Amino acid sequence: MIGELAALGAALSWTVSAMLYKEALQKTKPVSANIIRLTCTSIILFAFLLVIGKFTVLAGLPLDVALLASISGVIGLGVGDTLYMASLRSIGVARAVPLTCTYPLFNLLWAILLIKENVTFPIIFGAIFITGGIWLLSREENPSKAEMERNVLYKGVVLALATAVAWSISITMINLAVKETPDLDHALAINTVRVIAIAVLLFAMSPVIDRGLSFRKAQRKTLAMLIVGGIVALGLGWFFLAYSLIETLESRAVPISSTTPLFSTLIGFVLLHEKVTVKNALGSIAVVVGVFLIFLL
């Protein structure tokens, strides 16, 4: 049960960070924001390891584990997040988010083919319910009147599905890494390596991908929101997920961790007094049913 609760903790962390990112992105470009959050979070995570006396754990990580964590960061936080932003620009939130949130289904495939997990029918049905619920929660009531050109739509769909594949591969690689060293200290060290790897790569590429080095011109408030969001999402959220993968099966942890849109809807209704539509209600019920199937069966 603790593994499933940790996965829910990851989903909650990503909900909070998404709200911070949304505000910050009004004042800076996505690429600049990504460089800021990854660079600052990697420094903070590394410093945290030093303060709590766990640098030896980081230095003692097996080479194959460190390599898996690094590649996971590049694929998930680098390639995956970049594809996600491209899909949003191409087909918008209403179409892109439901497609990218199908990554639990790809993780089920990797769990069966690569890790040889025993995936039961309740887990499969739970993943399907959660994915369907996310799709409903992410739908817009009033889509744009102007239909996109067919080639643009196809491109956006491919980008969104590629995002889901990239995220699922990244998570599976983290799963493989934490299974080799299944304890909290190593989970923290592995997550730190993951963030540092992509932070170093993006920072080195910043003169090319962030012309004019715009990330250096971010306002203090924007900088603060990105740093806090990065700590919550990349530090706390991914630590929760790594710990969840230690305590339970990937096929259980990943679908539960993908319930972020459910919490976003609840926060919007309770705190922001947003209107709850039929699609919102059905989506929320589907997500709850999916989590119930994975938790109890």
- C-alpha–C-alpha distance, residues 226 and 232, integer Å: 10
Task: Tell me which range, 25-34, 119-128, 185-194, 268-277, is most confidently predicted by mean pLDDT.
Answer: 185-194
Q: Are 77 and 38 in contact (CB under 8 A)?
A: yes
Choice between 287 and 162, residue whose per-residue pLDDT is larger: 162
DSSP secondary structure code for residue 236 in this structure: I
How high is the pLDDT of residue 142? 57
- C-alpha–C-alpha distance, residues 62 and 87, integer Å: 36
Residue spans of beta strands (DSSP E) within the chain: none
- Cβ-in-10-Å burial (0-12, 13-18, 19+) of 158 comes to middle
Name which of 43-52, 109-118, 197-206, 220-229 the model is least confident about.
Answer: 109-118
pLDDT beyond 90 at 72: yes
**Domain ranges within the chain, ordered by starting residue:** 2-141+150-296
Q: What are phi and psi of 60, to 5 degrees?
A: -95, 5
Helices 150-180 and 238-247, axial angle in degrees (round to 10): 60
Q: Are 166 and 83 in contact (CB under 8 A)?
A: yes
pLDDT in tens, 3-13: 889 988 998 88
Look at the block and give the residue holding tokens 């983290």.
Answer: 174
Residue 88 DSSP SS3: helix
pLDDT band at 48 (very low <50, low <70, confident <90, very high): very high
Instruction: Tell me the whole-structure pTM to 2 decimals.
Output: 0.77
- C-alpha–C-alpha distance, residues 97 and 156, integer Å: 11
| DSSP code per residue over 160-177 | HHHHHHHHHHHHHHHHHH
